[in-house]
Amino acid sequence: MKKGKLLYEGKAKRIYRTDDPAVLWAEFKDSATAFDGDKKGTIARKGELNAAMSAHLFAVLERAGVPTHFLEQVTERAHLIRNLTMIPVEIVMRNVAAGSLVKRYALERGLILKKPILEYYLKDDSLHDPMLNRNHVIILGYCTEPKLRRIEAAAVKINRVLRNYFRKRGFALVDFKLEFGTRGSRLYLGDEISPDTCRIWEAKTGEVFDKDRFRFDLGEVESHYEEVVRRLTA
Ligand code: UDP
């Protein structure tokens, strides 16, 4: 499969066409952004680390019966993926209070939630990704109700699978973001699953292993990403 024309460049990936219109080439970049794009930087080797972790976890999810866009890893930092029609809603799943949840509701960081909380955000940088409720998603037409129900069921299952997978490897999966797309009538998980899109803490100590190291200048970002990939793919 050959890498074709650049279709789209996002904050963390470049998406190219291939000779097959149903297949795209996704290249993971080392550049990192945070706080709505206000903080910009580079995390050494992030592209290949996120590509490796995403490829591995997409395969874990496929084995658990969750369809994903992932087809094959083609270079250290590139995947072949299904060309989907993306749904412009980011799904955030939370098991433990952190990040914007703590800020918005003045919670104690680290509070274990009685049940996972699912949130919806509009994927629109110019509007700063506003939070949505189910009514916004359906009535404003971002996603139909039947499709949203399928997304919610998939997100619950993905959380169950990933949480267990992380726990067995000594990590707590605090929260994470998902993006879905369709091809015909089929729904697929898209985007990536990486320390950029998840909060990952050492289960025993609470040590931070995710993008919060970059957000809050905690140092040793690369080595922590590396350790996550090492333990999750061992
Ligand atoms: N997240 C993401 N992309 C976004 C917003 C959030 O991947 O545009 C992830 C983030 O890394 C965290 C989870 O979703 O794992 C919840 O993020 P939160 O709402 O706490 O926002 P933050 O404070 O991280 O901006």
Chain CA centroid to CA 150, Å: 18
For 168, phi then psi, to 5°, come to -65, -20
Q: Which of 111, 197, 208, 210 to mutate to test the pocket of ligand 1 (most atoms within 8 A of CB)?
A: 197
Give the chain's residues under pLDDT 70.
none
Q: Which of 62, 82, 102 is the last residue of a domain?
A: 82
Amino acid occupying residue 64: A
Indicate whether 233 belongs to any domain.
no
Same domain, 94 and 193: yes
Q: State the closest ligand 1 atom to the C-alpha of 98, by its place in the atom list counted from 1.
A: 20
Is 49:194 a contact under the CB 8 Å cutoff? yes
Name the strand (E) or helix (H) holding 200.
strand 198-202
Same domain, 90 and 13: no
DSSP label at residue 191: S
- Put residue 36 in one of left, alpha, beta given phi > 0 → left and psi -120 to 50 → alpha: left
Ligand 1 pocket residue status of 100, Cβ below 6 Å: yes
Residue 168 confidence (pLDDT): 98
Query: pLDDT digits over 188-230, tens only?
Result: 999 999 999 999 999 999 999 999 999 999 999 999 999 999 9
Is 74:25 a contact under the CB 8 Å cutoff? yes
Residue 82 confidence (pLDDT): 98
Residue 73 confidence (pLDDT): 98
Residue 62 confidence (pLDDT): 98
Q: Number of structural domains, the chain?
A: 2
Strand partners, 14: 9, 27
In which domain, by residue range, is 123 found?
85-220
CA of 177 to the centre of ligand 1 (A): 6
Q: Six-digit token pair at 229?
A: 């990939």
